[in-house]
């Protein structure tokens, strides 16, 4: 059956090389004349949404601010979106809910979420009395007898129980990392994936990728005219490149048309460099999970294998690509290739087989949670929260029960127990310990930094620890060492 004759499209060729910035001069002109803001481009290396619960609190608002500065996508779980907008600004996605009311924690809360940082807590406000007896001091800091606004059991225990339940139901397993969740309505496909067809070598095949019904659809017409024969879609280069060396490979959830496709990734930033390929078959109108071990990726340059190129380096992944091609490798033909229309639906792209899982849920608790009722405890030496636990509705007792809910959940976690929180700038060395015995104080800034670092490090996985500041001004910090049990640190300047 003969193909309808089509002519080469020079405009589409220019559009392709401009989108991928193959010729920097053209790309520069494009940005000047179209005022093309690249505000989302820097976010592509931080894939997956970080959910921050308690986002308007003293630690929570700092966590949100730092995540945004580091180009994470952030969703803030808040009780009052109008008040939250005044505190957090316009750059964060707000989701109005209450962890003490399970019905408000809908599936939409978890769309695209890969990690959770929980900074919720019982609302306690100081009441300044008229009599000196209400005024107290702890380690030289003046405070007033507090008034509990919320019910600690509801917030610290039932609320955490509700939140952990919804996170468990919708978050990816600990051994996987979501790279592209095409069901996420906030995902900007046009700014990250573009077509690379045989138009770049004189062919006339044409493809596109677009979101349809909560999935990405790679579709088009492939032609062998003008010695062509391939259509593909590719990501812009990740900046910085992805480091997936902690994983075994890539997992795709796809529904195809019975044709054989290729997955291609690159560990260099060149436009026309070596690509590492894996061919996979699809079943017509049937969903299929495709696992691509990094060790099985074949180095290829223009459909010719390059054995001397070495193994795929998963520590520096610059791009990913999906392709339908007439050719397999080294002149061999794709046995399931057919000219004409094609369509491949993609639900998600994930890394699988984590060798060292990172925490999925970071919880800010409190030092002293195990001390109320401890035999032989000298209350005069304890911080106010421990001494007044009963007057505060058993706040520390319920915090400990909330911790136990997380520990028993099968989620990977980090539980941070800060000593007395301050508004100081957080420029001191940190001291970690386990056993719930230390006393002191620590900056909210430092705790926010610690929470964000914890979600990135395997060393922080399934750890519970107390933290305070020392008197020394810091110069750098060894986070891995801290989480591995090295208690002193020098903070980053």
Give residue-wise pLDDT tens across range 387-445.
889 888 999 999 999 999 999 999 999 999 999 999 998 888 899 998 999 999 999 99
Question: Domain boundary at 352, 381, 411, which?
Answer: 352
Return the pLDDT at 271: 86
Return the pLDDT at 24: 52
> What average pLDDT is seen over the chain?
86
| 324 within domain boundaries | yes
If one counts the domains in the chain, the total is 2
* Whether residues 215 and 329 fall in one domain: yes
Return the pLDDT at 52: 98
Question: Domain boundary at 317, 352, 387, which?
Answer: 352
* Whether residues 222 and 317 fall in one domain: yes
Give residue-wise pLDDT tens across range 115-163.
999 999 887 655 444 333 344 444 454 544 455 557 899 999 999 999 9
Return the pLDDT at 122: 80
* Whether residues 275 and 343 fall in one domain: yes
* Whether residues 334 and 391 fall in one domain: no
| 25 within domain boundaries | no
Return the pLDDT at 454: 95
The answer to whether residue 473 scores a pLDDT higher than 90 is no
Question: Domain boundary at 352, 369, 404, which?
Answer: 352
* Whether residues 161 and 209 fall in one domain: no
| 432 within domain boundaries | yes
Give residue-wise pLDDT tens across range 58-77.
999 999 999 999 989 999 99
Structural domain boundaries, residue 295: 180-352
Return the pLDDT at 278: 98
* Whether residues 221 and 336 fall in one domain: yes
- Is 0.85 topped by the overall pTM? no
Q: Cβ distance 71 to 45 under 8 Å?
A: yes
**339 band by pLDDT with thresholds 50, 70 and 90:** very high
Q: Measured between alpha carbons, how far is 250 from 71 in angstroms, rounded to an integer? A: 23
Which tokens go with 249?
């490979």
* Whether residues 213 and 66 fall in one domain: no
Return the pLDDT at 27: 47
* Whether residues 335 and 406 fall in one domain: no
How much is the average pLDDT of 337-360? 94
| 28 within domain boundaries | no
| 420 within domain boundaries | yes
* Whether residues 341 and 417 fall in one domain: no
* Whether residues 187 and 314 fall in one domain: yes
* Whether residues 105 and 246 fall in one domain: no
Closest to 68 (Cα-Cα) out of 42, 101, 105: 42
Return the pLDDT at 3: 65
Indicate the length of the chain as a whole number. Answer: 493
Q: How many CB atoms lie within 10 A of CB 454?
A: 25
Return the pLDDT at 493: 26
| 245 within domain boundaries | yes
How much is the average pLDDT of 270-276? 92
* Whether residues 309 and 375 fall in one domain: no
Return the pLDDT at 149: 59
Give residue-wise pLDDT tens across range 301-316.
988 999 999 999 999 9
């Amino acid at each position: 059956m003969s193909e309808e004759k089509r002519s080469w499209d020079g405009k589409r060729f220019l559009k392709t090389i401009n989108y991928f910035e193959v010729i920097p001069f053209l790309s520069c002109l494009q940005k000047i004349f179209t005022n093309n803001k690249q505000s989302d481009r820097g976010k592509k290396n931080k894939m997956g949404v970080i959910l921050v619960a308690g986002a308007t609190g003293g630690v929570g608002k700092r966590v949100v601010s730092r995540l945004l500065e580091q180009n994470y996508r952030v969703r803030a779980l808040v009780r009052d979106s109008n008040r939250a907008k005044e505190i957090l600004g316009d750059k964060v996605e707000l989701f109005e809910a209450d962890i003490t009311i399970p019905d408000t924690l809908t599936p939409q809360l978890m769309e695209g979420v890969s990690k959770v940082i929980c900074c919720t807590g019982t609302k306690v406000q100081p009441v300044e009395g008229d009599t000196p007896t209400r005024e107290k001091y702890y380690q030289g800091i003046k405070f007033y007898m507090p008034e509990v606004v919320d019910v600690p059991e509801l917030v610290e225990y039932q609320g955490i129980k509700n939140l952990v339940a919804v996170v468990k139901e919708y978050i990816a397993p600990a051994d996987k990392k979501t790279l592209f969740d095409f069901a996420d309505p906030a995902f900007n496909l046009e700014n990250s994936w573009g077509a690379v067809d045989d138009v770049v070598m004189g062919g006339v095949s044409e493809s596109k990728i677009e979101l349809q019904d909560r999935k990405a659809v790679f579709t088009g017409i492939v032609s062998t005219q003008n010695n062509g024969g391939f259509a593909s879609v590719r990501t812009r280069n990740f900046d910085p490149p992805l480091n997936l060396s902690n994983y075994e490979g890539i997992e795709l959830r796809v529904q195809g048309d019975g044709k054989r496709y290729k997955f291609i990734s690159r560990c260099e930033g060149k436009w026309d460099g070596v690509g590492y390929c894996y061919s996979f078959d699809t079943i017509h109108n049937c969903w299929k999970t495709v696992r691509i071990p990094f060790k099985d990726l074949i180095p290829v340059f223009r459909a010719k294998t390059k054995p001397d190129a070495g193994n795929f380096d998963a520590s520096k992944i610059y791009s990913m690509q999906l392709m339908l091609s007439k050719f397999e490798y080294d002149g061999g033909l794709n046995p399931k290739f057919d000219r004409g229309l094609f369509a491949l639906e993609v639900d998600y792209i994930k890394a699988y087989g984590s060798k060292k899982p990172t925490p999925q849920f970071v919880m800010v608790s409190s030092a002293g949670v195990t001390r109320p009722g401890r035999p032989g405890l000298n209350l005069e030496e304890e911080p106010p929260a421990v001494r007044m636990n009963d007057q505060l509705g058993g706040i520390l007792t319920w915090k400990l029960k909330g911790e136990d809910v997380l520990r028993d959940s099968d989620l990977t976690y980090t539980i941070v127990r800060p000593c007395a929180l301050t508004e100081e700038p957080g420029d001191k060395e940190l001291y970690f310990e386990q056993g719930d015995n230390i006393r002191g104080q620590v900056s909210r800034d430092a705790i926010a930094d610690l929470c964000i670092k914890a979600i990135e490090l395997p060393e922080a996985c399934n750890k519970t620890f107390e933290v305070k500041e020392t008197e020394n001004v810091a110069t750098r910090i060894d986070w891995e060492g801290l989480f591995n049990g090295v208690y002193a640190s020098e903070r980053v300047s």
